Structure 1
């Protein structure tokens, strides 16, 4: 197969439609096969075109292709990118399935995961994140996605200016009995290696005790997209806000020891009013659809955030990340 087309709609062997229409904005593309169902083959032949469309629309759902196993999914992602990533500097429990393919966050099924862009707080993050439905849930378990460009349209100018001016301050506490330990986060038992990494990235750190590492750093609320060269919303200000955290945590630890603490860059609080504004803005721009076994959903991680609904049954969604972006590239 050779690339002979200018848009994804012109590629022979597949059909391009859209998810159900959502009020006020355009929903992502849905690509289904009309000839051979080997998605890896199409990715190899049309990689530049697919990437171009992904960075334009932000999300593409590939449905009814022959992707049945974790190995199939890894082959598809390897055809899409030469830079698939390991899951490092971890913030949530995930299990590696095969090389560079992981389970999505291993939280209990009754818990909802709020919208976020993968690793937006980090020094390195994936430009691309992909999800594969290995097992459909019995009920629920959707992965809602939000176009950040649409979400920002629902924010007041004062909130945008506040976050643009002050940025976001992140504090993380790693304790061996609550959340992920520092050994799990950095995938090493060597404190010197951890300290070297933190110093390299300019992160302030404190060993509260042998099992408790506290780190603090600052990030812009809006980041430059390395391909589009446009600035967009890219942070965890909403996700890690105290109002999204389990209130039972405060029965276990002091507020200063919560796993994540979010403030504005000048250490002032992100108020409840701003939190509620962000909550409503995400809600207004979110797209939710049911998973179908074999689905492959690819997101531009700097354009679209993702979440998770509670579910019943044996839901198994796998994830793979690609195309590393380093913060220092953009400043």
Structure 2
């Protein structure tokens, strides 16, 4: 890979053929990342909305509290993982483990919480332990997905939108509980959140919660106004599960009772061929980089989707989220 550098004092800016992520390498490992990013904030903000992801390497980053300090400095507010769809452990008040799925499975590309009525503007990943093999956090530019998808498939999704469906148990069952997803045991708080977020909900006789929400398939970036493919339709559909897992699940429950699912916005089923095309288009535009201990990856969550490669050996990547984008703040794309 061709690579040159620009000297920016204590830091080298790496110029490379691979556009994601932009890399800044500290010359000395005692350099404080929070201080350096604060001093260069305007330049970094310009890069993040144009490029979508920045990797900070070689800085003095040691523990989750360092990440919390960084995010608090760069964003107007840190977020909890409310309405999340994957298992995580909270390490500090606002720092979580990355998704705790078995290492042999990949996690497909997605913009975090794109199914919610508000989502994090920025994601901060911090590598504390590098895996023996694999374990990358792949990245893909959502502009490229929008631009390269088959126009007929894109138009269908834009016209119909996406409906996300969840079945959350009340403490025992398959998938996540509603207490975990909404980070509360208070039903009234859950109901208020759903009502404010345009989420239809129904409590079940066994103490679980069924929800559904209609969301767009594509939006315009809140700053640049560029069109983006912005949804998690292929990730929520049962065909995203490994075939053996999917068959096992459907032997014990109907498809409508799966913990997560997705349809077109009008409730009609999604075509497998369309989902395969979306996954293939996304895969072809995806880039990867190997993690190094102490790396911090900053992602514009509206502009760039991320995933996780399968891995072996210990791996510890922690996550914090900062800033908020609301659905009401962006332009929904309804026609090509």
Q: TM-score if structure 1 supplies the norm length?
A: 0.92
Is 1:47 paired with 2:44? Answer: no
Is 1:269 paired with 2:269? Answer: yes
Structure 1 counterpart SS, 2:40 = helix
Query: Which of the numbers 230, 234, 237 marks the counterpart of 1:238?
Result: 234
Q: Which residue of 1 aligns with 2:96?
A: 102
Is 1:65 paired with 2:59? Answer: yes
Alpha-carbon distance in 2 for matches of 1:87, 1:134: 20
Give the C-alpha shift of residue 320 in structure 1. Answer: 0.7
Alpha-carbon distance in 1 for matches of 2:27, 2:183: 44
Is 1:34 paired with 2:4? Answer: no
Alpha-carbon distance in 1 for matches of 2:256, 2:97: 30
Alpha-carbon distance in 2 for matches of 1:123, 1:9: 40
Q: Any stretches of 5+ residues in structure 2 without a counterpart? A: 332-336
Say whether the 8 Å CA contact 2:138–2:286 is kept in structure 1: yes
Say whether the 8 Å CA contact 1:127–1:322 is kept in structure 2: yes
- Residues 232/9 of structure 1: CA separation in 2 closer, same or farther (3 Å cut): farther
Is 1:216 paired with 2:209? Answer: no
Structure 1 counterpart SS, 2:67 = helix
Give the C-alpha shift of residue 182 in structure 1. Answer: 0.9
Map 1:251-270 onto structure 2 (within 5 A). Answer: 251-270=251-270
Q: Which residue of 2 aligns with 1:290?
A: 290
- More displaced, 196-205 or 63-72? 196-205
- Residues 231/152 of structure 1: CA separation in 2 closer, same or farther (3 Å cut): closer
Q: Which residue of 2 aligns with 1:227?
A: 223
Post-superposition, which runs of at least 4 consecutive aligned residues in structure 1 deviate over 6 A? none
Give the C-alpha shift of residue 9 in structure 1. Answer: 5.5
Structure 1 counterpart SS, 2:283 = helix
Structure 2 counterpart SS, 1:125 = strand
Say whether the 8 Å CA contact 2:179–2:185 is kept in structure 1: yes
Q: Which residue of 2 aligns with 1:13?
A: 10
Alpha-carbon distance in 1 for matches of 2:124, 2:319: 6
Q: Which residue of 2 aligns with 1:206?
A: 202
Give the C-alpha shift of residue 328 in structure 1. Answer: 2.4
- More displaced, 54-63 or 181-190? 181-190
Q: RMSD of the alignment, in Å? A: 1.8
Say whether the 8 Å CA contact 2:146–2:227 is kept in structure 1: no
Say whether the 8 Å CA contact 2:168–2:177 is kept in structure 1: yes
Q: Which residue of 2 aligns with 1:163?
A: 157
Say whether the 8 Å CA contact 2:20–2:52 is kept in structure 1: no
Query: Which of the numbers 175, 180, 183 marks the counterpart of 1:179?
Result: 175
Provide, for residues 93-115 of structure 1, a one-character-per-residue CA deviation record: whole Å limited to 9, x for no partner: 11111231110011121221111
Give the C-alpha shift of residue 18 in structure 1. Answer: 4.1
Q: Any stretches of 5+ residues in structure 1 without a counterpart? A: 1-7
Say whether the 8 Å CA contact 1:62–1:297 is kept in structure 2: yes
Give the C-alpha shift of residue 10 in structure 1. Answer: 7.2
Alpha-carbon distance in 2 for matches of 1:202, 1:307: 27
Alpha-carbon distance in 2 for matches of 1:115, 1:173: 22
- Residues 84/11 of structure 1: CA separation in 2 closer, same or farther (3 Å cut): farther
Alpha-carbon distance in 1 for matches of 2:325, 2:6: 29
Say whether the 8 Å CA contact 1:152–1:281 is kept in structure 2: no
Alpha-carbon distance in 2 for matches of 1:34, 1:53: 20
Structure 2 counterpart SS, 1:84 = coil
Give the C-alpha shift of residue 252 in structure 1. Answer: 2.6
Alpha-carbon distance in 1 for matches of 2:322, 2:252: 37
- More displaced, 33-42 or 109-118? 33-42
- More displaced, 93-102 or 187-196? 187-196
Q: TM-score if structure 2 supplies the norm length?
A: 0.90
Provide, for residues 71-126 of structure 1, a one-character-per-residue CA deviation record: whole Å limited to 9, x for no partner: 22222222222312121122111111123111001112122111110000001100
Alpha-carbon distance in 1 for matches of 2:204, 2:128: 41
